[in-house]
Structure 1
Amino acid sequence: MDAEAVVSVRLVRSFEHRNFKPVVFHGVRLEQTVHEFMELVRGDIATKQGLPPPFRKYAYDTMKIIHQAHGAKTNELVMSLDDDEKLILQDDQTLRAAGVANETEVAFFREEDYRLYRENPKTAW
């Protein structure tokens, strides 16, 4: 198995307004913990050119697998509300143990925003 992967991270700023930006990370070590990867992503987006300031400074704290290479995609525009217990990544797991592989797409969001959206999954424009 490859030790490094390409992982797409969807920065979710608002579920209701479908406000998100994808950022691709190359050379991601799958043996690092989810917590370490979140720190790496936070550090990278804080200085990333072309990313609007609201995305750079947001308090992201949770990751969830949206899509894996060669798997079915969800019809949800931001991310699926299904299978949280299986797809939300646990801080102390390695990325590989959490199910992240090459070309996996994960959402990075604030858990509180997601919980509120799950309770009332309406979108606004």
Structure 2
Amino acid sequence: MSSTRTDEISDVPTNLAIPKTAATLTIRIIKSFEFRTERSLVLHNVNLEQTTVGQLKEIARQAVQTQPGWKPYRNATIDTLKLYTKAHGAKTTNLIINLDHDDWILDDDTKILSDYGFENETEISFFNRKLYEEFKANPEV
């Protein structure tokens, strides 16, 4: 009887097992920092080598406007993306958003996601920048 590795668990981390042309991203749509109101939008088969920050924002906004279950979020103004964590990376102790690393804010809508280091299973926060700055100045929940 020959042994094959097809029935064994792969040693390849999940963030590297899927090509950058078919990644899964989780976008944390944040309605309120103060009340910790957020909901996760999972996007499958995102091409990280062609999708720009601006396109990702539009995909997320479109999903909120058209998919069932998002009605409470449809009037929220969401304009800013920020990296929350990469697969197998350390997460913040703040449950709603990482308040450190403002350099993780994705300010350039024309930049390709892979240029920011995105890979499979990356988590991103999508929120209102003005509300974020107010919450950061006084992070009370």
**Equivalent residue for 1:68?**
86
- Partner Cα distance (1:56, 1:100) in 2: 26
- Partner Cα distance (1:2, 1:11) in 2: 23
Larger C-alpha radius of gyration, 1 or 2?
A: 2
Q: Would the aligned equivalents of 1:47 and 1:56 in 2 still touch at CA under 8 Å?
A: no
**Equivalent residue for 2:67?**
48
Moved over 3 A (4+): none
**Equivalent residue for 1:89?**
106
**SS of structure 1 residue aligned to 2:116:** coil
How much does 1:60 deviate? Answer: 0.6
Q: Deviations over 1:26-84 (max 9, x none)?
A: 01121211001101111111011122x22123211000111110111111110110111
**SS of structure 1 residue aligned to 2:23:** strand
Gaps of 5+ in 2: 1-18
- Partner Cα distance (2:83, 2:42) in 1: 14
Aligned residues between the structures: 121
Compute the TM-score of the two structures, normalised by the length of structure 1.
Answer: 0.91
Identity percentage of aligned residues:
37
Gaps of 5+ in 1: none
How much does 1:89 deviate? Answer: 1.1
1:101 is the counterpart of 2:119: yes
Q: Would the aligned equivalents of 1:33 and 1:92 in 2 still touch at CA under 8 Å?
A: yes
**Equivalent residue for 2:129?**
111
- Partner Cα distance (1:2, 1:108) in 2: 21
The structure that is strand-richer by fraction is 1
RMSD: 1.1
- Partner Cα distance (2:20, 2:111) in 1: 18
**SS of structure 1 residue aligned to 2:25:** strand
